[in-house]
Chains A and B, each alone.
Chain A
């Protein structure tokens, strides 16, 4: 061999092959040893699909175990992006009655999330639509439906603002809440559904399925042993009395206002009504834009929870705060009397009373709602004490009720006036209106019901709560909802005067709330009228019964109803009757209002 193949070249070849071997081996070691965890995980994600199963939302019961909020099956149309064909969008949109742009958007979001997972497109479709989809399955590849639940309300109690509704989670909420939710999930938006979302929701279940590269399902992964079932949401057991709630709603029908009844012994909310309301069934799953717009533009604001959100001057119902302050601080004695001649002069201004009450002591001042008495006492007591006692009774601060929306109201203090008018630029004259609960003071019906309960129980103020107990479906265990309780320290002497005044107000001649009486039960109460510069005044009534050992405290607010004794007091009366007897026992339940002569007089009177 004349040879060109020198040993040098042979060595070069062996080295080159060796080098090739080393490089490939190095890479192999890198992939199979160093990165094995990473790629092992990726390969699992590749071939195993996680299919989420929505849990059944918790049920809601009333205090006697009546089912108030139920679940019914509903059909939700889904598309699986990997199998779905874009050219079928116009047809699908037409079948579902939605915009093509909407389907495009859902498809886009679905692809981003996971193109093999079904994406919810439309909830709660009707049977004709469902059958249309069934018939056209071959045309609509990737389109399927899931059986979900929607809320159903089996009793007469609508409790719109109390129960609240669920809606599809928004992008912003998704960002905030993270992995527990995904696009298309329902989330509590208002009322108990929102406040107890965490309990009601339950926990999603997951099934693991093996798929091939095309995303076609091949069957259960690991024979289903890795799956975990959805965990049902917890049930709520409310303090609500469904019959009372339904009655209160019917009594307020065609009116604007609120009723809040609570159990003075523990703060449990027996009824919470705000009218006008709206139909929760229309919010069960999908709300049509028409319904939304109608509700949002309605001048009577049906979405607004008047029971907890509205803020009106309390009127004469607030007189007990001042009475308590003046008596407890010994500004006046129990025997203190004033001579009411129907008007009160402060500087150049004249504040009228409805009638000349003559000689009036503290008890009579409550019974007959004498304004002059309180004008006088307010100037003696001063703003600081009035504010302090107002705070004691829970005004000017949220009650801490377990539905999320409530107002703190407004309880003015010296700092408040200093801030609004400037230091030294407001006079004692500003206080005169506050004496009778008018002017710059605002309370909610809920605060008023708590106030009535505290009055009835001699100063035990319970944090109001709608939910009494939460029942875990898995363990079957029931947990009491914890609430706070505090005492308003007044001497018995003071309580006796207030109780006597409120009792007489309902039961004795000269009382302003005689039509609040209930047969066989001693009711105590107080009327009030909130001055309304924009129209007819708003009517208040607060009360509790039976006086010996109160079982119900109630507040009724009726907007633009004029004097509180005529409209609000009978509603309260019937509610008390319903709750204590379990039914209405009066003869003519449909026409309960027999206005007493005295009360008629008062109609104009309280309206100074």
Chain B
């Protein structure tokens, strides 16, 4: 028995998750500290405990069972999303909350997991051929359904994460690079054109370079390129037609510094918090930005500022490193497992955690647009934390079953 644990538990992942969990709870404690522990801290502590148990429970679910349950779980989660849309609570402008026995639940979080499972299940099916447009379309459909439902809430950030996850998973599953570019280039062009001509030109140049390197059929290449140009141009055209306040909203989204009292406020305060931390920080519970509440609801999306301010570079670097270790460990697991289903699940989890990390930390440091995305394992919130722990559980499960087909 002893040797089973030795062989089949991924201690690296467990250790990293545990450390992130502890730092996260300590940060929530600091961010909500007011002459003592707050209700946020107590709740996060409970969620953390439950999550830890959940992670190990998931690890022991037989592999087959998981695969068989993928579609039913996906179906159930879609239904829950529909119910939320019809009857959910509105929090911060989004109808994404679900009141259950006094606890708020955010189903769109856990739907990430079921979508990954469903997608993995579909793509690992032997009859599925990624060279066929029809099958690609089905894979798209699996992701688009929750995305549309989430966009209706509306929750832009979560929707973006699904799209990125899909692209990453498709790439891992073996979709041709050409198809990938066909998917990515127009979206990138659309965003770039709003940031300025230079960005647009850079995206076009990259597209051309990729197309040339891939040496696909010239006609298709030309089509993809013209599609990209058309996308950029039409976005620019539509943007020009918008009312000034709508334009401003979009530009603020892309460049928060332009609106220091609105959306930009958080980013400015967040940069001040991180920047003023220096090498060793201001000391635990002594960060002025944190303790004086310059960041509204800092314990959720801007939790990264807390250790960055109070422990400085040392703390910020440690978190970044832990997350990176976790991701690389995930990629290694995904590439060593024998089962294609397990491999895609693992890479889906890596993709989800990576996107959350990049957007959240990038946003806190002012190099990503402000979209409400939590930092994995650290941000306050039960649904998010439990979802992260489930994902960690999936990684452990895959590792434990790495030799199975």
B55 at the interface (CB under 8 A from A): no
B71 at the interface (CB under 8 A from A): no
Which residues on B sit within 8 Å (CB–CB) of A29?
A: 313
Within 8 A of B (CB), among A208-236: 210-214, 218
Docked complex Cα distance between A10 and B332 (Å):
8
A34 to chain B, nearest CB (A): 9
Docked complex Cα distance between A3 and B344 (Å):
12
Docked complex Cα distance between A38 and B361 (Å):
20
Contacts A17-B324, A20-B357 supplied; 16 other A-B pairs, CB < 8 Å: A1-B343, A13-B172, A25-B317, A27-B367, A28-B274, A28-B313, A28-B365, A29-B313, A32-B316, A33-B279, A36-B277, A38-B275, A39-B275, A47-B288, A212-B292, A212-B293
If the complex has contacts A9-B171, A27-B367, A33-B313, are A46 and B272 also in contact, measured as CB distance less than 8 A? yes
B289 at the interface (CB under 8 A from A): yes
A502 to chain B, nearest CB (A): 76
The closest CB in chain B to the CB of A27 belongs to B365
Q: Assess whether B320 is in contact with A25, with CB atoms less than 8 Å apart.
A: yes
Q: Assess whether A39 is in contact with B328, with CB atoms less than 8 Å apart.
A: no
Which residues on B sit within 8 Å (CB–CB) of A176?
A: none
A2 at the interface (CB under 8 A from B): yes
Q: Which bucket holds chain A's interface residue count?
A: 35 or more
A544 to chain B, nearest CB (A): 70
Which residues on A sit within 8 Å (CB–CB) of B365?
A: 24, 27-28, 31
Instruction: List 26 contacting pairs A-B, 8 Å CB cutoff, sorted by A.
Output: A1-B339, A1-B343, A5-B334, A7-B335, A13-B172, A13-B347, A17-B327, A20-B354, A20-B357, A23-B362, A24-B358, A25-B320, A28-B274, A31-B275, A32-B277, A36-B278, A39-B276, A40-B276, A43-B275, A43-B288, A47-B289, A212-B292, A212-B293, A212-B294, A213-B269, A214-B293
| Contact for B328 among A2, A5, A14, A28, CB less than 8 A | A14
If the complex has contacts A17-B354, A43-B288, A47-B294, are A24 and B272 also in contact, measured as CB distance less than 8 A? no
A15 to chain B, nearest CB (A): 10
Q: Assess whether B316 is in contact with A47, with CB atoms less than 8 Å apart.
A: no
Within 8 A of A (CB), among B334-391: 334-335, 338-340, 343, 347, 350, 354, 357-358, 361-362, 365-367
Which residues on B sit within 8 Å (CB–CB) of A24?
A: 320, 358, 361-362, 365
Q: Is the interface of A mostly helix, strand, loop or mixed?
A: helix
Docked complex Cα distance between A159 and B59 (Å):
94
Docked complex Cα distance between A9 and B279 (Å):
36
| Contact for A32 among B269, B278, B361, CB less than 8 A | B278
Docked complex Cα distance between A33 and B313 (Å):
8
Which residues on B sit within 8 Å (CB–CB) of A43?
A: 272-273, 275-276, 288-289
A308 to chain B, nearest CB (A): 53
Docked complex Cα distance between A317 and B346 (Å):
111
Q: Assess whether B313 is in contact with A1, with CB atoms less than 8 Å apart.
A: no
Docked complex Cα distance between A27 and B358 (Å):
12
A102 at the interface (CB under 8 A from B): no
Within 8 A of A (CB), among B170-188: 171-174
Q: Assess whether B308 is in contact with A46, with CB atoms less than 8 Å apart.
A: no
A42 at the interface (CB under 8 A from B): yes
If the complex has contacts A32-B278, A43-B273, A46-B272, are A9 and B289 also in contact, measured as CB distance less than 8 A? no
Docked complex Cα distance between A1 and B350 (Å):
20
Q: Assess whether A44 is in contact with B288, with CB atoms less than 8 Å apart.
A: yes
Q: Assess whether B338 is in contact with A32, with CB atoms less than 8 Å apart.
A: no
Q: Assess whether A5 is in contact with B343, with CB atoms less than 8 Å apart.
A: yes
The closest CB in chain A to the CB of B273 belongs to A43
If the complex has contacts A2-B340, A14-B328, A14-B331, are A213 and B293 also in contact, measured as CB distance less than 8 A? yes
A4 at the interface (CB under 8 A from B): yes
Which residues on B sit within 8 Å (CB–CB) of A23?
A: 362, 367
Q: Assess whether B338 is in contact with A42, with CB atoms less than 8 Å apart.
A: no
Please count the residue pairs between chain A and chain B whose beta carbons lie under 8 angstroms apart in the complex.
Answer: 127
A21 at the interface (CB under 8 A from B): yes
The chain A residues found within 8 Å of chain B, CB to CB, are 1-5, 7, 9-10, 12-14, 17-18, 20-21, 23-25, 27-29, 31-33, 35-36, 38-40, 42-44, 46-47, 210-214, 218
B89 at the interface (CB under 8 A from A): no
**Most chain B beta carbons < 10 A, residue from A4, A27, A32, A38:** A32
The closest CB in chain B to the CB of A29 belongs to B313
Within 8 A of A (CB), among B277-297: 277-279, 288-289, 292-296
Q: Assess whether A1 is in contact with B294, with CB atoms less than 8 Å apart.
A: no
A433 to chain B, nearest CB (A): 73
The closest CB in chain A to the CB of B281 belongs to A32
Q: Assess whether B313 is in contact with A213, with CB atoms less than 8 Å apart.
A: no
Which residues on A sit within 8 Å (CB–CB) of B135?
A: none
Docked complex Cα distance between A224 and B365 (Å):
33
A413 to chain B, nearest CB (A): 65
Docked complex Cα distance between A128 and B313 (Å):
58
The closest CB in chain B to the CB of A44 belongs to B288
The closest CB in chain B to the CB of A45 belongs to B272
Q: Assess whether A210 is in contact with B171, with CB atoms less than 8 Å apart.
A: no
Which residues on B sit within 8 Å (CB–CB) of A9?
A: 171-172
Q: Assess whether A46 is in contact with B312, with CB atoms less than 8 Å apart.
A: no
The chain B residues found within 8 Å of chain A, CB to CB, are 171-174, 269, 271-279, 288-289, 292-296, 308, 312-313, 316-317, 320-321, 324, 327-328, 331, 334-335, 338-340, 343, 347, 350, 354, 357-358, 361-362, 365-367, 405
Which residues on B sit within 8 Å (CB–CB) of A31?
A: 271, 274-275, 365
Docked complex Cα distance between A40 and B274 (Å):
9
Q: Assess whether B340 is in contact with A32, with CB atoms less than 8 Å apart.
A: no
Q: Assess whether B317 is in contact with A5, with CB atoms less than 8 Å apart.
A: no
A172 to chain B, nearest CB (A): 30
The closest CB in chain B to the CB of A211 belongs to B292
Which residues on B sit within 8 Å (CB–CB) of A28?
A: 274, 308, 313, 316-317, 320, 365
Docked complex Cα distance between A218 and B172 (Å):
54
A32 to chain B, nearest CB (A): 5
Which residues on B sit within 8 Å (CB–CB) of A47?
A: 288-289, 292, 294
Q: Assess whether A40 is in contact with B278, with CB atoms less than 8 Å apart.
A: yes
A58 to chain B, nearest CB (A): 39
Q: Assess whether B276 is in contact with A13, with CB atoms less than 8 Å apart.
A: no
A111 to chain B, nearest CB (A): 12
| Contact for A35 among B172, B275, B327, CB less than 8 A | B275
The closest CB in chain A to the CB of B365 belongs to A27
The closest CB in chain B to the CB of A48 belongs to B288
Q: Assess whether A4 is in contact with B313, with CB atoms less than 8 Å apart.
A: no
Docked complex Cα distance between A9 and B357 (Å):
21
Docked complex Cα distance between A28 and B331 (Å):
25
Which residues on A sit within 8 Å (CB–CB) of B276?
A: 36, 39-40, 42-43
| Contact for B320 among A4, A21, A44, A211, CB less than 8 A | A21
The closest CB in chain B to the CB of A214 belongs to B293
If the complex has contacts A17-B324, A28-B317, A32-B316, are A1 and B293 also in contact, measured as CB distance less than 8 A? no
Docked complex Cα distance between A279 and B383 (Å):
74
Q: Assess whether A17 is in contact with B328, with CB atoms less than 8 Å apart.
A: yes
Which residues on A sit within 8 Å (CB–CB) of B292?
A: 46-47, 210-213, 218
Q: Assess whether A5 is in contact with B275, with CB atoms less than 8 Å apart.
A: no
Which residues on B sit within 8 Å (CB–CB) of A21?
A: 320-321, 324
A528 to chain B, nearest CB (A): 71
Which residues on B sit within 8 Å (CB–CB) of A35?
A: 275
Docked complex Cα distance between A349 and B350 (Å):
117
Q: Assess whether B338 is in contact with A1, with CB atoms less than 8 Å apart.
A: yes
Docked complex Cα distance between A36 and B320 (Å):
19
Which residues on A sit within 8 Å (CB–CB) of B295?
A: 213
| Contact for B172 among A5, A25, A210, A211, CB less than 8 A | A5
Q: Assess whether B313 is in contact with A32, with CB atoms less than 8 Å apart.
A: yes
The closest CB in chain B to the CB of A3 belongs to B340
B312 to chain A, nearest CB (A): 6
Which residues on A sit within 8 Å (CB–CB) of B320?
A: 21, 24-25, 28
A24 to chain B, nearest CB (A): 5
**Most chain B beta carbons < 10 A, residue from A13, A21, A39:** A13
Q: Assess whether A40 is in contact with B275, with CB atoms less than 8 Å apart.
A: yes
Which residues on A sit within 8 Å (CB–CB) of B312?
A: 32
If the complex has contacts A46-B294, A212-B293, are A32 and B279 also in contact, measured as CB distance less than 8 A? yes
B130 to chain A, nearest CB (A): 8
